[in-house]
Chain A
């Protein structure tokens, strides 16, 4: 096991993009975790000037590296604490999607037949229906039902229950290839039960792929959450980066030229999303390396006959 990890690390660290992705994600996570260490304020603290009034829309300065928002709160602080919300929602929703997707994918791939057909039809139907309108409508309805749950939980659930389709498809095709392999039919021949086979033979093989795909799903989840929050469906008391952008937009940061209000949260989203995408892509590439032939390249190098007397 340790040897495998070492082997993995060696291959992984050779890929610069993967390292970059890892760095981006890691710094974001660390910033979220160590928020109190990075800023003396709380996101709700209002910065006051010498006269005691709130310093609204003040640009970056020595006192606040990212200035203040429309109510005088420090944006750097909001950003760091916002990371907690964005990342938590993103990761949780991503895990739910991974779980549902893997469940569907393994079931469909392993059992095949009408179960496979049914699950794949469900997946197809879900894919065709436009995602944002469906989510907005679901979230709106759920909130209207006065269930007394945090709006963030609603968002997490809605994202998790709608974004599992790509995972399901991927896992399913992997399981299909594994199923063909001999050790599965051998295990069946000696009477092993389905659960046992899945646990012992199928899961270990697809686990790396699940991990790679989850990272990508998380990046989607973070982006979707930011969008939903921007449209006002987040929790104003616990602002995520998307919520910050909702505030910025609604409270005229654009017309006031307060770029320090609407630029940083977006950059933060791109930072983390990009990190996850790079990481996920590199992991996937490592698991499914595709060295394809390309018939229209390399012509220049084909003839490598040294000219006479060249040496």
Chain B
């Protein structure tokens, strides 16, 4: 397969998906909520009909929805103008980017830990199929899968705060709220333990399962028998031949998982009152702050789509069977 064509196809697909997201966003937030003037200006603001009309003209709301309003809105979004939040009275873009880092920290930590542990456990489980460790790992994964994210968070929160004295919420203690994060790292770390643990436990199971089935598939291939025939020990076979082949699907999986990771982040940030995009999203939902909700949705969706695309690109460089022209 030609790498260049493959990449172009992936790029095209990602663009189409972004477009779909944008259209969904537009339809949901501009078209459906009834009076767009209200949507743009904000609620609980009393304005006279003349001023409403004037505002309509000013915001271009008297023009037909498609294509004029759509193109206008698209233009706005491309420039980074995502409107102003009703509940916080600040530009949506600023709010989003101030919280982005926190969520990335949480998700990043959780993913890295769960990938390392999950891959290791999956390797072990697949190698020693049907032994106690395999059965244990499978059971753990099944139960983790059946456990609602937020509930595990609640349990850990209750247990952690009651038995270990860990904080019950927030990203830092109230005293440190206004300080830049890098200055209060120990406090930050204490607050990160429980939410990260929750995320790790949940995703660990999934990575374990994928690595396990990947390893099982690799270990049924002929070249593994060849390696064994060469006189290698099991460990050597695993490390030199099986591992790389088995890890390839993990790369794609990490990408695919990003959507679910974002969902998990919304739940966990809510439970732990963690000051990130997830919590923001939930907050905007409750307060019906549409500009903020819409902006957050755009950011989250597009990030996931782009991350997916990068993972696919990365894959083409890792698998020698996908060659450049």
What is A's interface to B at a CB cutoff of 8 Å?
121, 124-125, 127-134, 136-138, 140-141, 144-145, 219, 223, 226-227, 230-232, 242, 245, 248-249, 254-255, 257, 259, 262-263, 265-266, 269-270, 273-274, 277-278, 292-297, 299
Given A130-B304, A296-B224, 4 extra CB contacts under 8 A = A128-B305, A140-B285, A226-B151, A231-B282
The reply to whether B33 and A144 contact each other, CB–CB distance below 8 Å, is yes
B7 at interface, CB cutoff 8 A: no
Which chain A residues lie closer than 8 Å to B304 at the CB level? 128-130
Which chain B residues lie closer than 8 Å to A273 at the CB level? 145-147
The answer to whether residues A245 and B228 also contact, given A132-B262, A257-B162 and a CB cut-off of 8 A, is no
The reply to whether B293 and A227 contact each other, CB–CB distance below 8 Å, is no
B296 at interface, CB cutoff 8 A: yes
Q: List residues 233-288 of chain B with CB under 8 A from any CB of chain A.
A: 234, 237-238, 256, 258-260, 262-263, 266-267, 270-271, 281-282, 285-286, 288
Which chain A residues lie closer than 8 Å to B129 at the CB level? 294, 297
How far, in angstroms, from A137 to B21 measured CA to CA in the complex? 12
Can you identify 15 A-B contacts, CB atoms within 8 angstroms? A125-B13, A125-B17, A125-B20, A127-B256, A128-B305, A130-B259, A130-B304, A132-B263, A137-B24, A140-B293, A230-B150, A231-B270, A242-B148, A262-B155, A294-B219
The answer to whether residues A270 and B147 also contact, given A137-B28, A254-B154, A255-B168 and a CB cut-off of 8 A, is yes
The list of the 10 closest CB pairs from A to B, nearest first, reads: A132-B263, A273-B146, A266-B151, A130-B259, A274-B146, A295-B224, A293-B220, A130-B262, A292-B220, A141-B28
Which chain A residues lie closer than 8 Å to B271 at the CB level? 249
Nearest CB of chain A from residue B17's CB, rounded to whole Å: 5
The reply to whether B150 and A133 contact each other, CB–CB distance below 8 Å, is no
Nearest CB of chain B from residue A177's CB, rounded to whole Å: 19
The reply to whether B297 and A263 contact each other, CB–CB distance below 8 Å, is no
The reply to whether B143 and A270 contact each other, CB–CB distance below 8 Å, is yes
How far, in angstroms, from A230 to B282 measured CA to CA in the complex? 11
Which chain A residues lie closer than 8 Å to B262 at the CB level? 130, 132-133
Nearest CB of chain A from residue B323's CB, rounded to whole Å: 24
Could you say which of A133, A219, A278 contacts B266, with CB atoms under 8 Å apart? A133
Which chain B residues lie closer than 8 Å to A130 at the CB level? 258-260, 262-263, 300-301, 304
Which chain A residues lie closer than 8 Å to B286 at the CB level? 232
The reply to whether A277 and B127 contact each other, CB–CB distance below 8 Å, is no
The reply to whether A277 and B155 contact each other, CB–CB distance below 8 Å, is no
B16 at interface, CB cutoff 8 A: yes
Nearest CB of chain B from residue A25's CB, rounded to whole Å: 12
The answer to whether residues A132 and B266 also contact, given A144-B33, A269-B148 and a CB cut-off of 8 A, is yes
Nearest CB of chain A from residue B23's CB, rounded to whole Å: 11
The answer to whether residues A223 and B301 also contact, given A128-B259, A130-B259, A294-B220 and a CB cut-off of 8 A, is no
How far, in angstroms, from A124 to B9 measured CA to CA in the complex? 13
Interface class of chain B by DSSP: helix
B217 at interface, CB cutoff 8 A: yes
Nearest CB of chain A from residue B216's CB, rounded to whole Å: 6
Which chain B residues lie closer than 8 Å to A124 at the CB level? 13, 17
Nearest CB of chain A from residue B123's CB, rounded to whole Å: 11
- Number of B interface residues in the complex (CB < 8 A): 66
Could you say which of A137, A255, A296 contacts B237, with CB atoms under 8 Å apart? A296
Could you say which of B33, B225, B270, B308 contacts A128, with CB atoms under 8 Å apart? B308
What is B's interface to A at a CB cutoff of 8 Å?
13, 16-17, 20-21, 24-25, 28-29, 32-34, 127-129, 142-143, 145-151, 154-155, 157-158, 161-162, 168, 216-217, 219-221, 224-225, 228, 234, 237-238, 256, 258-260, 262-263, 266-267, 270-271, 281-282, 285-286, 288, 293-294, 296-297, 300-301, 304-305, 308
Could you say which of A133, A231, A245, A294 contacts B154, with CB atoms under 8 Å apart? A245
Which chain A residues lie closer than 8 Å to B216 at the CB level? 292, 294
Q: Which of B158, B258, B294, B296 has the most CB of A within 10 A?
A: B158
The reply to whether A295 and B220 contact each other, CB–CB distance below 8 Å, is yes
The reply to whether B148 and A274 contact each other, CB–CB distance below 8 Å, is no
The reply to whether B142 and A277 contact each other, CB–CB distance below 8 Å, is yes
Which chain B residues lie closer than 8 Å to A257 at the CB level? 158, 162
Nearest CB of chain B from residue A53's CB, rounded to whole Å: 27
Which chain A residues lie closer than 8 Å to B21 at the CB level? 129
Could you say which of A133, A248, A269, A270 contacts B263, with CB atoms under 8 Å apart? A133
The reply to whether A296 and B217 contact each other, CB–CB distance below 8 Å, is no
Which chain B residues lie closer than 8 Å to A137 at the CB level? 24-25, 28, 293-294, 297
Could you say which of B127, B157, B305 contacts A254, with CB atoms under 8 Å apart? B157
The reply to whether B17 and A128 contact each other, CB–CB distance below 8 Å, is yes
Could you say which of A144, A230, A296 contacts B238, with CB atoms under 8 Å apart? A296
Which chain B residues lie closer than 8 Å to A242 at the CB level? 148
The reply to whether A129 and B154 contact each other, CB–CB distance below 8 Å, is no
Closest chain B residue, CB of each to CB of A294: B219
The reply to whether A266 and B143 contact each other, CB–CB distance below 8 Å, is no
The answer to whether residues A133 and B296 also contact, given A128-B305, A255-B168 and a CB cut-off of 8 A, is yes
The reply to whether A227 and B149 contact each other, CB–CB distance below 8 Å, is yes
Nearest CB of chain B from residue A19's CB, rounded to whole Å: 15
Which chain A residues lie closer than 8 Å to B34 at the CB level? 144-145
Closest chain A residue, CB of each to CB of B266: A132
How far, in angstroms, from A257 to B154 measured CA to CA in the complex? 12
Nearest CB of chain A from residue B131's CB, rounded to whole Å: 9
Nearest CB of chain B from residue A256's CB, rounded to whole Å: 10
The answer to whether residues A269 and B281 also contact, given A145-B32, A294-B219 and a CB cut-off of 8 A, is no
How far, in angstroms, from A269 to B155 measured CA to CA in the complex? 14
Nearest CB of chain B from residue A279's CB, rounded to whole Å: 12
Q: Which of B154, B162, B228 has the most CB of A within 10 A?
A: B154
